[in-house]
Chain A
Amino acid sequence: MGLYIIRRLGHAVVVLLVVSVLTFTLVNVAPGGPAIMTTMQTTVEQREALRVHLGLNRPLYQRFGAWLWAVVRGDFGRSLNDGRPVIDEIGERLPPTFLLGGAALVGSIVVGIPVGLLSATHRYSGYDQVVTFLSFVGVSIPAFWFAIMLILLFSVQFRWLPSSGMATIGVPSSLPDHARHLLLPAVVLATVTLPQLVRYTRSSMLDVLSREYVRTARAKGLREHRVLYQHAFRNALIPVVTVLGILIPRLVGGAVITETIFGWPGMGQLAVASAVGRDYPLVMGITVVVAAVVVAANLGVDLAYGWIDPRIHYE
């Protein structure tokens, strides 16, 4: 197990290194990269001075080395837009994204697993068909459009919920106020995770229900309730953990759209702003930090999987 963790950590480091190389190369060799500054209307001497100042006169691999060494120490450079350290900007934006993503994920688990289980135990019933249809709609609905429709309904039409931000401006910060602001974005973001979780739970439960040990449990006269919840349910949940590993990157991707529409001051909103404004140090910092968060989450899921399922042996 110890060896497995070390190998898995090594794997995570390799993934992050690949991401760093990709992002750095992309930004530095692309048309419109940092070199564009050296073609502004300037004298030859000025341009040369700028190139030396920015370190652009050194070969690419040296620049990458210097950048990577700085990144390891937490220095992502400064934003081209407002000159603030990139790491500070990212640090401010991470907590709101964790809050939003966490709310969506927890909500999806609390709702999705029971719904999926009932769907499996009542296979082909009217309920199952409605759930299956809705989960298809959930997978297919464009998140930004769903968000706009929710805003039209709940903010414009009924005026029940705020359409943007994390808190009402000019009002003392309070939990109910935050919760009201969180509700719509969390519901929109949950469309990324909830339908997948329902479908996966359903098929996992169906798979378990066809196993011999379930038949044995029924054959020895256990009550159906006990068969379902003591024998089948627990085993059905194990593979559901793995789907979280797939859902976390998608959740982060979904946050980009959700945060932009609802004016939620998180990483996703910052990512769009930096991409539109071509703020390269910020783009690079965000990509690396988000990749690190996702890789860490996946590592957690993998280790949790081994802990939950005693049948797994790490070589």
Chain B
Amino acid sequence: MREALIDQALERAPAAAARWGVWHRLTRSTPALLSLIFLVAIHALALLGPLVLPLDPYSTDPSAGLRPPTAAHLLGTDELGRDVLARLISGARVSLLVGAVAMGIAVVTGSALGAAAGYFGRSVDVWVMRVTDAMMALPTFFLILAVLAVFGGGPVAVMSVIGLTSWMQVARIVRGDFLRWRVSEFVEAAHAVGASHARIMWRHLLPQVVPSIIVTATFGVAFAILTESALSYLGLGIQAPTPSWGNMLQNAQQYLWSAPFLAVYPGVMILLTVLSYNFLGDGLRDALDPSLRNV
């Protein structure tokens, strides 16, 4: 009870006001606002897909392959006569999901390791940070290739392997903040009223780090989408016939001369989505935590 009251007094009241401030600061930046609108639109399209465009991304019609845009097929057809727009939307589903889940894995892994390192310090800190530095110094893309060579592609393998090779930034940030706040008065107060380590980490320290995690995660989603598309492009990620923006590009490369537009669309989608996530991350950084500027 006492703890709950302290929690409320410390966190609740300023939080609501701060949230409005963040929204205001975020939407004041034009690139961030445009990015947010684009991302909402593309996510909605990916979710509602079949409702918006009732065309099957898998149904083939070899007699109508590689056609330019028509009223029936707004962006034309690919080499098997499949509707390009339907495949782009279906691919959005895969690419966005892989990006989000991979980043989720990275955030959970990085936060857990960073929190343990920053909170417990000493040898835990030394070892966790040593592993983190080692991982950061590694050409992770080669590791990813090796893992996928062994386990084969597919969404689950791709999400896991991207997530487990991109948690280092989160771990460093969480560790730094835990280290800083561990010695603060509100943590001392929590100790004094008998809160457990787990409670202090979860209720008192973690909320301090959430803004930085959100910013890092936003940049991380951009990186994960880019990595997934590269892997699928190389034929080691999402496998055909499931469309992803990356493997659509791989396909399109064979028809560069006869149907160059096939290679343009998926690339533009990747570029716009990744760019939007990066602009949003930048806007969020300015809005949530001005102290991180220019880092």
Min CB distance, A23 to chain B, in Å? 6
* Contact with A290, one of B139, B270, B294 (Cβ below 8 angstroms): B139
A203 at the interface (CB under 8 A from B): yes
Chain A residues within an 8 Å CB radius of B236: 272, 275-276
The tally of residues in A whose CB lies under 8 Å from a CB in B reads: 57
Q: Is the CB of A291 within 8 A of B270?
A: no
Q: Is the CB of B270 within 8 A of A151?
A: no
Q: Is the CB of A290 within 8 A of B256?
A: no
Q: Chain B interface: which of A88-96, A180-188, A253-261?
A: A253-261
Q: Is the CB of A144 within 8 A of B249?
A: yes
Min CB distance, A271 to chain B, in Å? 6
From A282, which residue of chain B is reached at the shortest CB distance?
B149
Q: Is the CB of B151 within 8 A of A31?
A: yes
Q: Which of A11, A140, A149 has the most CB of B within 10 A?
A: A140
Chain B residues within an 8 Å CB radius of A149: 263-264, 267
A143 at the interface (CB under 8 A from B): yes
CA distance A295 to B136 in the complex (A): 10
Chain A residues within an 8 Å CB radius of B282: 136
Q: Is the CB of B139 within 8 A of A275?
A: no
* CB under 8 Å from chain A, chain B span 151-210: 151-152
Q: Is the CB of A145 within 8 A of B271?
A: yes
CA distance A145 to B131 in the complex (A): 33
Q: Which of A14, A286, A287 has the most CB of B within 10 A?
A: A287
CA distance A151 to B230 in the complex (A): 17
Contact A256:B256 (CB < 8 A) given known A139-B278, A142-B229, A276-B236: no
From B233, which residue of chain A is reached at the shortest CB distance?
A144
* CB under 8 Å from chain A, chain B span 202-253: 222, 226, 229-230, 233-236, 246, 249, 253
B75 at the interface (CB under 8 A from A): no
B134 at the interface (CB under 8 A from A): yes
From B264, which residue of chain A is reached at the shortest CB distance?
A149
* Contact with A152, one of B130, B136, B139, B260 (Cβ below 8 angstroms): B260
Mark each residue of chain A from 26 to 38: 1 if its CB lies under 8 Å from any CB of chain B, else 0.
1100111100000
* Contact with B137, one of A142, A146, A206, A294 (Cβ below 8 angstroms): A294
Q: Is the CB of A206 within 8 A of B294?
A: yes
Mark each residue of chain A from 155 to 171: 1 if its CB lies under 8 Å from any CB of chain B, else 0.
01000000000000000
Q: Which of A142, A276, A280 has the most CB of B within 10 A?
A: A142
* Contact with A256, one of B145, B152, B222, B260 (Cβ below 8 angstroms): B145
CA distance A4 to B146 in the complex (A): 33
Q: Is the CB of A140 within 8 A of B274?
A: yes
CA distance A286 to B142 in the complex (A): 8
Tally of A-B residue pairs with Cβ under 8 A?
146
Min CB distance, B90 to chain A, in Å? 19
Q: Is the CB of A140 within 8 A of B139?
A: no
B143 at the interface (CB under 8 A from A): yes
Mark each residue of chain A from 1 to 32: 1 if its CB lies under 8 Å from any CB of chain B, else 0.
00000000001001100110011001100111
A78 at the interface (CB under 8 A from B): no
Q: Is the CB of B256 within 8 A of A275?
A: no
B148 at the interface (CB under 8 A from A): yes
Contact A203:B294 (CB < 8 A) given known A137-B271, A141-B271, A257-B230: yes
Contact A256:B271 (CB < 8 A) given known A136-B279, A148-B253, A203-B295: no
B60 at the interface (CB under 8 A from A): no
Min CB distance, B82 to chain A, in Å? 20
Q: Is the CB of A18 within 8 A of B230?
A: no
Chain A residues within an 8 Å CB radius of B131: 18
Q: Is the CB of B142 within 8 A of A271?
A: yes
15 sample A-B contacts, Cβ–Cβ < 8 Å, listed by A number: A26-B146, A136-B278, A140-B277, A140-B278, A145-B266, A145-B271, A148-B256, A149-B264, A152-B263, A203-B294, A249-B138, A256-B145, A256-B234, A272-B145, A275-B149
Q: Beyond the given A15-B137, A137-B275, A290-B139, could you list 11 further A-B residue pairs with CB under 8 A, ordered by the A residue number? A: A19-B138, A136-B282, A142-B229, A142-B249, A144-B233, A207-B294, A249-B137, A249-B139, A257-B233, A275-B236, A276-B149
Q: A-B pairs with the 9 shortest C-beta distances? A: A253-B141, A145-B267, A275-B149, A203-B294, A140-B275, A140-B274, A30-B150, A252-B139, A15-B134
Q: Identify the A interface with B (CB < 8 A).
A: 11, 14-15, 18-19, 22-23, 26-27, 30-33, 133, 136-137, 139-146, 148-149, 151-152, 156, 203, 206-207, 245-246, 249, 252-254, 256-257, 260, 271-272, 274-276, 278, 280, 283-284, 286-287, 290-291, 294-295, 298
